[in-house]
């Protein structure tokens, strides 16, 4: 059997960090990472590209476009792709790549670590080995591989800040597990023969997390400065009605000026349902607001940036938003 060729794309993160006087900072290149795991050569043929060396806190939408463009440029040369990335915004990057690269029949695997690869106790080596194992498989699409879990790119979220069990799959089953170098597959994502690549995002998507008593002027300010506003409400979703300000009217004014507003929930599991309570049903019935249902906030953010990079037409925005892509939203909501 012909040995598979995998491209390792380095972006920085804890996995590539070294300790300095002011804390951990990404210093190692992707070539240097591979020197810590020479047995990868038994799995596949590897080549490396170092795109940037950033703490993932500093990753922006422009970096997502750069990663997608790099994969598009080298698509025909490789059988799969591994992206080493910092954990803090990896779920956002995984979601963004799911929209920028749709239907890809080859694996794109994001991974990272909670401890640098040079530390005596580290999860870096296992995560990288597992990522390459998945990248050489026939599992298609964008995935996040971490601590043995294989997670759909649109369903990943960092749920622990320090432990190796850092990521969870939200409102969707794991695609599989990697154990002792073997893949235990539960779900095989759908793909197309030829992927669709996109190269435009609108980064002007804001997120407002509601807290009791928050002034609606915050929402007004964000709507003025952005193309879209995601509101993380309480429970199954709704807008508060405070004496100090009217959220309903604030959102209505934003919608009337062509802005996009999405209602989601702060609750991690089970999603929103605006129809349940008056505070949600009144806006669902009377305003052209979009509802995230079971989508993660990371996926909502990336999807809106992708949609608004193509169109600002409200009807088209709504149609694209509710069209399932890479299992990001439950069909039929």
Q: So what's the pLDDT on residue 277?
A: 82
Question: Model confidence at 246, in pLDDT bands (50, 70, 90)?
Answer: confident
In the chain, domain spans:
5-197, 205-321
Q: Which residues make Cβ contacts (< 8 Å) with residue 31, sequence separation at least 6?
A: 48, 50
- Output the DSSP codes for 208-257: EE--TT--THHHHHHHHH-SEEEEEESTT----EETTEEHHHHHHHHHHT
Assign domain 5-197 one CATH number from 3.40.50.1170, 1.10.3720.10, 1.10.10.60, 3.30.1330.30.
3.40.50.1170
Lowest pLDDT segment from 188-192, 310-314, 329-333 = 329-333
Q: Is 89 a catalytic residue?
A: no
Tell me: domain 205-321, CATH 3.30.70.20, correct? no
Distance CA 8, CA 80 (A): 9
Q: So what's the pLDDT on residue 32?
A: 93
Tell me the per-residue pLDDT of 182-224, one tens digit each, with 9 for 90 and over. 999 999 999 999 999 999 999 999 999 999 989 999 999 999 9
CA dihedral 261, 211, 89, 139 (to 10 degrees): -60
Tell me the per-residue pLDDT of 153-168, one tens digit each, with 9 for 90 and over. 999 999 999 999 999 9
Q: So what's the pLDDT on residue 245?
A: 65
Q: Do domains 5-197 and 205-321 have the same CATH topology?
A: yes
112 contacts 85 by C-beta, under 8 angstroms:
yes
Higher-confidence residue: 98 or 284? 98
Residue from 14, 93, 297, 301 carrying the catalytic annotation: 14
């Amino acid at each position: 059997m012909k040995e598979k060729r995998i491209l390792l794309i380095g972006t920085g993160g804890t996995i590539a960090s070294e300790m300095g006087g002011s804390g951990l900072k990404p210093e190692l290149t992707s070539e240097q990472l591979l020197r810590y795991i020479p047995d990868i050569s038994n799995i596949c043929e590897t080549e490396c590209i170092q795109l940037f060396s950033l703490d993932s806190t500093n990753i922006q939408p422009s970096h997502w476009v750069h990663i997608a463009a790099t994969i598009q440029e080298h698509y025909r040369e490789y059988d799969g792709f591994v992206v080493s990335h910092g954990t803090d915004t990896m779920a956002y990057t995984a979601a963004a790549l799911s929209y920028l690269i749709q239907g890809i029949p080859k694996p794109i695997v994001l991974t990272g670590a909670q401890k640098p690869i040079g530390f005596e106790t580290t999860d870096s080596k296992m995560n990288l080995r597992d990522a390459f194992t998945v990248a050489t498989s026939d599992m298609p699409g964008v995935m996040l591989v971490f601590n043995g879990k294989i997670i759909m790119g649109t369903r990943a979220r960092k749920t622990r800040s320090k432990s190796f069990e850092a990521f969870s799959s939200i409102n969707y089953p794991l695609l599989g597990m990697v154990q002792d170098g073997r893949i235990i597959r539960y779900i095989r994502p759908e793909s197309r023969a030829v992927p669709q690549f996109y190269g435009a995002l609108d980064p002007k998507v804001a997120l407002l997390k509601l807290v009791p008593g928050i002034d609606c002027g915050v929402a007004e300010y964000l709507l003025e400065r952005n193309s879209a506003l995601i509101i993380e409400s309480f429970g199954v979703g709704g807008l508060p009605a405070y004496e100090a300000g009217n959220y309903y009217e604030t959102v209505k004014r934003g919608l009337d000026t062509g802005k996009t507003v999405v209602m989601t929930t702060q609750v991690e599991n089970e999603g929103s349902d605006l129809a349940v309570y008056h505070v949600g049903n009144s806006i669902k019935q009377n305003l052209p607001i979009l509802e995230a249902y079971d989508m993660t906030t990371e996926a909502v953010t990336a999807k809106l940036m992708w949609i608004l990079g193509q169109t600002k037409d409200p009807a088209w925005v709504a149609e694209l938003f509710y069209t399932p892509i890479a299992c990001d939203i439950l069909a039929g909501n």
